[in-house]
Structure 1
Amino acid sequence: MDSQDSNILSSEYATRRKRLMALITQLRGLGAQADLDLPRIVCIGNQSAGKSSLVEAISGITVPRDAGTCTRCPTECRLTASSGKWECQISLRIEFDTKGKRLSKPKIVQFGAIIKDKTLVEIALRRAQAQILAGDPTDKGTMSKLLMMNEDEIRTFSEQASFQKFSKNTICLDITAPDVVDFQFIDLPGIIQNAEPELVNMVETMVTENITGNSIILVTLPMSDDLENQKAARLAQIADPEGRRTIGVLTKPDTLTAGSVRSRANWVDIIEGRKHPLHHGYYCTRQPDDSERARKISPEEARRVETEFFQKTEPWNTCSEPSRFGTKNLVDKLSNLLTHITDQALPALRQKVDESLTASTAQLRKLPPPLTMDPSSELLSMITGFSSDAQSHVNGTDAHVALVQENRSVYRKFKIAIRKTAPEFRPFLKKEANGAALARWDDSAVVDEEPLEPSDKSPNDPVIYLDDLRKHIRSSRTHELPDIVPYPAKLQSIEAFVELWEDPISECFTKVNEGFKRTLIDLIHEHFSRFPALEANIRSLVNSEIEKYESKTLQLLQDLRRLEKVPFTQNEHYLSVTTDKWHSHYKAVRAGAVDGPTGKRKRIAADQGTTATAKPAAPPATPFAPPNGFGLPSSSPFAFSGMVGTAPPAGQAEATTSANPQTAPAAPALAAPKPASFAFNPAPSPSPALTANFSKAKEDVERRANILHMLAVEGYEDLTFPDLDRLRAPDEYETELKFAAEVRAYFQVSYKRIIDFVPLMINHNYLSDLVGSLQRVLILGLALGDVSRAAAYLAEDPQVVSARTKLSSKQKRLLEVRNELVKFGV
């Protein structure tokens, strides 16, 4: 490679090194060191280990020297090669408060003007350190005074009681000169051993924190003492057990006299790597002694004297590692090493920035956002949101359906509970009833209701027989005429089942209220949990409102139940139809036409009120002319299809009667087609008993249809199958049957009212009215107009505020760091 190519490569390397040093400086200014392990060289050493002299030799400046400890805060020296004259700018990087707590973002404070005379740096460093230790490093008043003080005045100023002994805030020196190498390092206070334990620990902690991770540890080791005795060497070994990041700098070689043969040989073994080996090895420097400093020799003169010393003094001049001697060799090594580790660290730094950004963003999302409005407006917004959500849950809107669905389940159970209170009338005498059969009684078809599930039935419901009814009626009779049921008898029977409604109503409200209160508590926690005091007040106000509406609603429900004790309805048509249905049903069961007690009523639609009008087109050729096996056309509601034993659609006949009970559809004209056998779709063979029962049902329908047909021929039109039951001979218990039908029918009327009105009252008078009042109640109860009270309610948990502030600052800092890395090309 020719000299021109070498110069180009050297220039490119120097340019990149300069850019890398500038990048690290920029990142430190942003506070990246709080989150990232930035590459750095850290200079440590025991007190009086020659560290100050080494710093002077590397930086080319004079640093303060006093008896005892002089350096009391970190000093970051940043050297930049330039074509201009020598200049130095001192600034303070404030990262910690007076208690040592890291600030969210560093403050960079420029301290004084640019220094162009090297001799003024020492006093400027004394002033800068005093500014950091004085308390508030950003105080411009203190700075103005310090910039005018001489050394004695600074010393007096530093003796104040409030003055800190040490600080982790940093003095930064930006030195530009034509004769320096692009390089930067951090000089830490010397490790002390003979001082208060608190101060000793403070300095050691500062050193330990700075020599971890991506740091190159530059440990100064005076050759006047054995290496094993030096605390700085032990701390470096703890931080870097394998010695891959440590460089030993041996100082004060001129203190070893010619007679110190064993000591000199020991240090040569260390320099040449035979003892205490380190990955980057050791360097030996010689700095001006006291007399030379007194003569104020120049840096150039000091380097010349150093070179001559190592060239002429044994055993250093015969060492096999001559590149290990001299400050220049050390600086070149450090500069190249820092450039290398910085270049190598950038991709990992970028990855760490991205990972930290993702993590901090995720953590921020877990915290409640900061309040953006004034306390009163913020509180009003929160109350409005809570009230709106409560309304949505009650109405079942905006996907908040759980409460409404839960209430529907409660209301269904309430309906069943009320239905189970129906009076259990049986059209038999006690001696005629079979107890086991009566337990299977099912009258759901009569009332157009779905049959109750076995689990919904109560086996202990009292059964009322005809002889019980007769006794009850007689016990209420006074001046009534025969067969006239006294009003008190009916009233007592109605009051009896209404009294049974108290528990179902109370239980229904209790169940709905439990779910509602649980929902409100959850909503209160969801909306106000970040403010514990506010949440407690909201819960108290809401509970008070709940109690008020509970009392009011329970009273309304009791009033509603009491209203039902007095018989009344304007739904007379339904009452009349239902009374007739029950009367016909009881009479049919009593006559044996319907197998009531067995629980398997024959599903004969004719017994449910279906009518037949007889207008025959021609007289029948035979009493039975069954086109489909029942003497009915296939379109007739009485026509059965499917396999034997299949009932007609449930409620089909009832629907016809209920739709127009006064005008029934005409029965079909019974023509005389060819006799046909009973037809059904092939299916598994039914049991003989089932076939026999169905055959009997078939015969009953055919027989009754034929009777209606013959009556129609005689002019008795518009008759129904139940009309045939009325043609039966008077029953001696007709009064009781009629009484049972009327009471049971009125139960159906009031039952249908109560199962609607109770849920409606709970939904509207309790749930809707209560949530509708919440916003007004909370605004008044919290005294929303009082700004100070609103502010007190919204006082956040200090820990939450602190965590959010830290994360927000970290996120902002990382974004700035990432921008700088992107600009650099990482």
Structure 2
Amino acid sequence: MDKTEFYEDASAAVEDCRPMEGVFHSHLDDRVRPYIDLIDSLRMIGIEKDLALPTIAVIGDQSSGKSSVLEALSGVALPRGSGIVTRCPLALKMRKLRGGIQWKAIISYKDELIEFDDPSLVEEYVADAQDKLAGAGVGICDELISLEISSPDVCDLTLIDLPGIARVPVKGQPDDIGDQIKTLLLNFIQKSETIILVVVPCNVDIATTEALKMAQEADPEGKRTLAILTKPDLVDKGTEKNILEIVRNQVIPLSKGYIIVKCRGQKQIDDKISLSDATRAEKDFFRRHEYFSGLLHEEKASTECLATKLTQDLVDHIKKSLPLISEQITKQLWDTRKMLSLIPSGPPLDPHQRKMYFIDTLTEFNDKINRLSNGEVVIQENLFILLRSDFQKWKDHLDGTKERFHETVHEVVKEYDRKHRRRELPGFSNYSVFEMVVQKLVVELTGPAIDTMKSIRDTVQKQFIDVAKTCFMNYPYLQCVSSNKIDNIQSTQEALVEERIMEQFEMEQLVYTQDSIYYKTLKDTANQEASEDNCGEFGSRSNYPDMLKAYYEIVVQRLADQVPMLIRFFLLKQSGRMLCREMLNLMDGSNVNEILREESDLSRKRIEMQNRLERLTLAQKKFSSFF
């Protein structure tokens, strides 16, 4: 049988399903029930997260009789009371059993699933579920509760019961409870796939009810709206004809029309009148009513007529929606596979492969650290450009001290000549005096050298951490561990570099250089002095001891290279090696699952896409098997 024949047979079966005297719910032909089962199975796998499904959503003002209607259809008592009783959306799935199978039910929400076979427990289980999802009290929640009832006395039908519309908050409710409920209801009834079942009491002005106003807002043309009139026994005398006009679609026209029902009232509940007895009493009420009896023959009155009408509308709606749903699933499957292919894959589930993945991840990190240390890789900013910038500042500072050195020497020479000079000629001052000057000025360079080292430490540490963030983007544990190791290693190496720098400056107190280096620098200095004198610069300083100037040039050059080399070796080269060794140690006896635990937007996106792919794939299989 092809799809067209299937649709036609299903429609014919629903048309033949008429209420019969003495039978509360007529069962559907086996060719029709698969439609409802298909949609419910799609809802069970969570496909509504991806696309809207055909459904019937029940809305009504508080105390409109909504719970009584659902009780009449399902055959079980639901939570009752004043104020907001339905605090979470309730998917009420009714399954007609055949072959003498007894009543059973399943209630599920979040990770809870409870099976039971006592109808009297329904109210308690639903109330408990609402308390767990929405909290004890009068708050609401958009989490769905699923209640599946299988019984010989119900029809094949699924409804979504929504919270009653509230106008004024009661004690314990937030001031915006009305807006919260309206938002929740509109999320369901605005979808074109939803049939809106509006419950309205007969004893109020139908045009002023919030439920019908909201339905008209979501469905302006009234094509998806079916109204149920309740409490016909409370109609004021003389207004019966007005009710007839409403039911016959002459007041506020709706494409799906109106059904009038009489469910159990509070007195019947108090008198413990059963639902089956209430159903028979309902039939008698309409059959004997002076004005409403004709509605029975028009199939616009009684719960039985409502059940058949709802089932027919739902199956027709499903039938029209299936081709579009199938098309949407196929398209979203393609889109999801494409998006998933663009997201980097995560760690494998197989333990051995997962460990290999972990080793590869650490190897990639270590490789980047080594290449970064050697200047072969750039992370955001070129590390060696940043280092050269700091090292150049250090060199510029050293060069800037030359003038002060020369001035200090000049002052010392003048002071020596004035106080201590004996028979020696000018310029032949005591060597120890000049040695003291060199030592004093070199010591003053210690602070700037340490500052340079600290600046480089911050730069290198930031780049190392950037590598960790890149390689361990999805793994917070590895990010945390590597960041701690980087900080600890850098702190240790910083102390070591500082010690080496201080040693270097202590060695500079020796005032030493190779004679050949000294003579060459002295010659260069003398030539420069001569050139500057010819240019008219520094002429007044031509009597400076050239040998001291030459020696300080050597000191500057030595420190300009040695301090950066110490910093680069200990804070970059050696730190990188130590970090790589420390990270490799993680492979010894570590919990790989904990280490590779993902908590990032990217990993959440990948998991979301994988779950979506599973839902859509399963939905596509269900469609394939359905036809």
| Shared fold, TM over 0.5 | yes
Q: Does residue 172 in structure 1 map to residue 152 in structure 2? A: no
Aligned in 2, Cα 1:807/1:579: closer, same or farther, shift over 3 Å?
closer
Aligned in 2, Cα 1:535/1:348: closer, same or farther, shift over 3 Å?
same
Aligned in 2, Cα 1:276/1:748: closer, same or farther, shift over 3 Å?
same
Tell me how far apart the structure 2 counterparts of residues 253 and 136 of structure 1 sit (CA, whole Å). Answer: 31
> What is the aligned-residue RMSD (CA, Å)?
6.7
Tell me how far apart the structure 2 counterparts of residues 194 and 340 of structure 1 sit (CA, whole Å). Answer: 40
Residue in structure 2 matched with residue 514 of structure 1 by the alignment: 455
- The alignment covers a number of residue pairs equal to 563
Tell me how far apart the structure 1 counterparts of residues 401 and 139 of structure 2 sit (CA, whole Å). Answer: 89
What pairs with 1:245-644 in structure 2 (closer than 5 Å)?
245-251=224-230, 260=237, 262-284=238-260, 309=287, 314=291, 317=294, 322=298, 324=300, 326-327=305-306, 328-329=308-309, 331-341=311-321, 344=324, 347=327, 395-399=374-378, 402-415=382-395, 417-418=397-398, 462=407, 489=430, 492-493=433-434, 496=437, 499-503=440-444, 506-520=447-461, 523=464, 545=492, 548-549=495-496, 551-563=498-510, 565=511, 567-569=512-514, 572=516, 574-576=517-519, 597-598=534-535
Q: Is the 8 A contact 2:391 2:452 kept in 1?
A: no
Q: Is the 8 A contact 1:393 1:404 kept in 2?
A: no
Q: Does residue 77 in structure 1 map to residue 93 in structure 2? A: yes
Q: Does residue 130 in structure 1 map to residue 145 in structure 2? A: no
Q: Secondary structure at the match of 1:21?
A: helix
Q: Supply the AA of the counterpart residue of 1:111.
A: F
Instruction: Give the one of 163, 184, 190 matched to 1:209.
Output: 184
Residue in structure 1 matched with residue 569 of structure 2 by the alignment: 764
Tell me how far apart the structure 2 counterparts of residues 266 and 494 of structure 1 sit (CA, whole Å). Answer: 118
Residue in structure 2 matched with residue 94 of structure 1 by the alignment: 108
Q: Secondary structure at the match of 2:75?
A: coil
Greater helix proportion: 2
Aligned in 2, Cα 1:502/1:406: closer, same or farther, shift over 3 Å?
farther
Tell me how far apart the structure 1 counterparts of residues 528 and 499 of structure 2 sit (CA, whole Å). Answer: 43
Q: Is the 8 A contact 1:218 1:248 kept in 2?
A: yes
Q: Secondary structure at the match of 1:510?
A: helix
Kindly provide the CA deviation profile for residues 114-148 of structure 1, in whole angstroms up to 9, marking residues without a partner as x: xxxxxxxxxx322344345457999xxxxxxxxxx
Q: Secondary structure at the match of 2:53?
A: coil
Aligned in 2, Cα 1:256/1:598: closer, same or farther, shift over 3 Å?
closer
CA-CA distance at 1:276 after TM superposition: 2.8
Aligned in 2, Cα 1:281/1:489: closer, same or farther, shift over 3 Å?
same
Q: Secondary structure at the match of 2:239?
A: helix
Aligned in 2, Cα 1:809/1:44: closer, same or farther, shift over 3 Å?
farther
Aligned in 2, Cα 1:213/1:38: closer, same or farther, shift over 3 Å?
farther
Q: Supply the AA of the counterpart residue of 1:11.
A: D
Tell me how far apart the structure 1 counterparts of residues 253 and 438 of structure 2 sit (CA, whole Å). Answer: 102
Q: Supply the AA of the counterpart residue of 1:405.
A: I
Give unmatched runs, 5+ long, in structure 2: 14-29, 353-357
Residue in structure 1 matched with residue 76 of structure 2 by the alignment: 63
Q: Is the 8 A contact 2:59 2:199 kept in 1?
A: yes
Aligned in 2, Cα 1:166/1:348: closer, same or farther, shift over 3 Å?
same
Tell me how far apart the structure 2 counterparts of residues 48 and 580 of structure 1 sit (CA, whole Å). Answer: 108
Residue in structure 2 matched with residue 40 of structure 1 by the alignment: 55
TM score, norm. by length of structure 2: 0.62
Q: Secondary structure at the match of 1:398?
A: coil
Aligned in 2, Cα 1:762/1:329: closer, same or farther, shift over 3 Å?
closer
What pairs with 1:13-24 in structure 2 (closer than 5 Å)?
18=33, 20-24=35-39
CA-CA distance at 1:275 after TM superposition: 2.1
Q: Supply the AA of the counterpart residue of 1:40.
A: T
Q: Secondary structure at the match of 1:42?
A: strand
CA-CA distance at 1:41 after TM superposition: 0.6
Aligned in 2, Cα 1:93/1:421: closer, same or farther, shift over 3 Å?
same
CA-CA distance at 1:172 after TM superposition: 0.7
Q: Secondary structure at the match of 2:614?
A: helix
Q: Supply the AA of the counterpart residue of 1:212.
A: I
CA-CA distance at 1:42 after TM superposition: 2.5
Instruction: Give the one of 29, 41, 48 matched to 1:26.
Output: 41
Give unmatched runs, 5+ long, in structure 1: 96-102, 113-123, 139-161, 374-378, 423-457, 601-735
Q: Larger C-alpha radius of gyration, 1 or 2?
A: 1
Q: Is the 8 A contact 1:36 1:352 kept in 2?
A: no
What pairs with 1:202-241 in structure 2 (closer than 5 Å)?
209=184, 211-214=188-191, 215-227=194-206, 232-233=211-212, 236=215
TM score, norm. by length of structure 1: 0.50
Tell me how far apart the structure 1 counterparts of residues 520 and 264 of structure 2 sit (CA, whole Å). Answer: 125
Q: Does residue 814 in structure 1 map to residue 627 in structure 2? A: no
How many percent identity over aligned positions?
18
CA-CA distance at 1:812 after TM superposition: 5.3
CA-CA distance at 1:45 after TM superposition: 4.7
Tell me how far apart the structure 2 counterparts of residues 597 and 187 of structure 1 sit (CA, whole Å). Answer: 102
Tell me how far apart the structure 1 counterparts of residues 330 and 602 of structure 2 sit (CA, whole Å). Answer: 24
Tell me how far apart the structure 2 counterparts of residues 246 and 66 of structure 1 sit (CA, whole Å). Answer: 25
